Amino acid sequence: MDIILKGGWVVTAERVEKADIAIAGEKIAAIGPGLTAPGATACDCTGKYILPGIIDAHVHYQMSNDELITADDWYTGTRAAACGGVTTVIDYAETGEPAETLSGSLAKRIAQAREQAVVDFALHQVIKPGQEEDEAELKSVIEQGVSSFKVFTTYQQRLTKAAIGRLLRQARRLGALVTAHCEEHEILTTRRSHLEIVGRTDPSYHAVSRPVEAETEAIKGVIALAREANAPIYIVHVSSGAGAQAIAAARAGGQLVYGETCPHYLLLTEAKYATADARLFLMCPPLRTAADNELLWQHLAAGDLQVVATDHCSYSREQKAAGMAFYNTPAGVPGTETLLPLLYSYGVRNGWLTLPQMVQVLAENPARLFGLYPRKGCLAPGSDADVVVFNPRRELTLSSSHTYSAAGYTPFEGFSLSGCPESTYLRGQLIFDQGHLLGEKGQGKFIKSRILQKK
């Protein structure tokens, strides 16, 4: 035995219990009361919560779009993750040049991340028009360790409904999970041209330009396609109460529909677009109302949404400032490092979620959905020793000056935290402790996702 975490409150997806955790090498060796092992390093965790390493199932590090590249690369993004108790991130592989193959883009992305990642990582594969037809390439991606595909209903890389249907049928045959960015393209283009005609294009019009109906229409459309294909579907970054309701209704009808929301949709509102810093809060879909915040918490608590992830896509103040209109301001916000403390402080402490529910939405559910369970996402003998020691008494006010992300700001500036991660272990190695990053570039491993059970 190498390490024993003693006397903490161990939180799993089922319960909270006082127990010790013994770590041998990269794995959890035992969990139970009164564990001893001569020679092991004992760490007193009295009064602390012991959580499984958090999984941020939706991040974009080192993402390039035309000339623009996100502020966080794989190193700074995963450094921020380690400091926030996140031990696995799931990012995206995407083809660049038209001639590039899916498997080629995936191999390149894995190599890029391996050099720099401080925490473990898995990948989703973005599917662009035409790529849904290539069964051999889709199979090859799965063999390389990716079990989820990502489609867009808007942006340049959007797929038609027919193409999404084809991909869903391929995914069903292959046992993969299709994930979808849902905003109805036609509604967005109509809104944009109306706003352009009346000269209302500055970033303060961002939420008006991407209304809730665009999200709900797209969610309903994609759910209908999944039903026809008899395939499961996962909706990313649900921003509205109506969007979550559409998912809840499909689930109530027995369909395998999963939903993800993000801390910014739970905690921030479109009032941010009326401020001078509107650009810093510009992401797609946009922030909504306080009523949407509340409905999202309700649907999360009810289990209609299964995952909270950050959609971490960071741009610096300077990069954001280059955008003059809502449609050319770089879209996205940083979030990985504040995911766990915000969910604890505003989800658990405000009574929306129990501690086991928090572990479900931040660890176990993403691990199960994306083929990483039980290696990741749980505290159990034989699982990777990815562990967070969380201090529920540590108070902190979030401030841009504290962030590890290269964005240089946090959209949650001024938010009070009632609890913070104190130490993070990645496969038995201490990578963050008492405010200090100990993890190193290249320490993170690519974790192959296993496919969902074939029907």
Place of tokens 């219990």: 17
Could you tell which of ligand URP, Zn ion, none binds residue 247, using a CB distance below 5 to 8 A set by kind? none
Query: What's the token pair of residue 318?
Result: 């300077």
Residues 6+ apart with CB under 8 A from 318: none
Place of tokens 């993070």: 424
Distance CA 306, CA 260 (A): 6
CA 310, 358, 368, 152 torsion: positive or negative?
Answer: negative
Compare residues 315 and 432 and give the one whose CB is closer to ligand URP: 315
Among the listed residues 132, 137, 217, 311, the single contact to ligand URP using CB under 6 A? 311
What are the angstrom distances between the C-alpha of 343 and each of 9, 81, 227, 350, 354? 18, 15, 32, 10, 11
Query: What's the token pair of residue 163?
Result: 């193409």
Among the listed residues 79, 181, 299, 376, the single contact to Zn ion using CB under 5 A? 181
Could you tell which of ligand URP, Zn ion, none binds residue 222, using a CB distance below 5 to 8 A set by kind? none
Q: Per rule CB under 5 A, is residue 311 in the interface with Zn ion?
A: yes
Q: Per rule CB under 6 A, is residue 82 in the interface with ligand URP?
A: no
Q: Per rule CB under 6 A, is residue 323 in the interface with ligand URP?
A: no
Q: How far is the CB of 181 from Zn ion (least distance, A)?
A: 3
Compare residues 109 and 181 and give the one whose CB is closer to Zn ion: 181
Q: How far is the CB of 70 from Zn ion (least distance, A)?
A: 11
**Do the beta carbons of residue 377 and residue 367 sit within 8 Å?**
yes
Could you tell which of ligand URP, Zn ion, none binds residue 283, using a CB distance below 5 to 8 A set by kind? ligand URP
What are the angstrom distances between the C-alpha of 361 and each of 263, 324, 340, 371? 12, 37, 10, 15
Could you tell which of ligand URP, Zn ion, none binds residue 229, using a CB distance below 5 to 8 A set by kind? none
Q: How far is the CB of 152 from ligand URP (least distance, A)?
A: 7
Q: Per rule CB under 6 A, is residue 283 in the interface with ligand URP?
A: yes
Choices 45-53, 136-144, 176-184, 423-431 (CB under 5 A): range interacting with Zn ion: 176-184
Distance CA 226, CA 240 (A): 21
# residues contacting Zn ion (CB under 5 A): 2
Task: Classify burial at 198, counting beta carbons within 10 Å of its beta carbon; exposed 0-12, middle 13-18, buried 19 or more.
Answer: exposed
Query: What's the token pair of residue 44?
Result: 């007193």
> Interface with ligand URP by CB under 6 A: which residues?
60, 181, 283-284, 311, 313, 331-332
> Interface with Zn ion by CB under 5 A: which residues?
181, 311
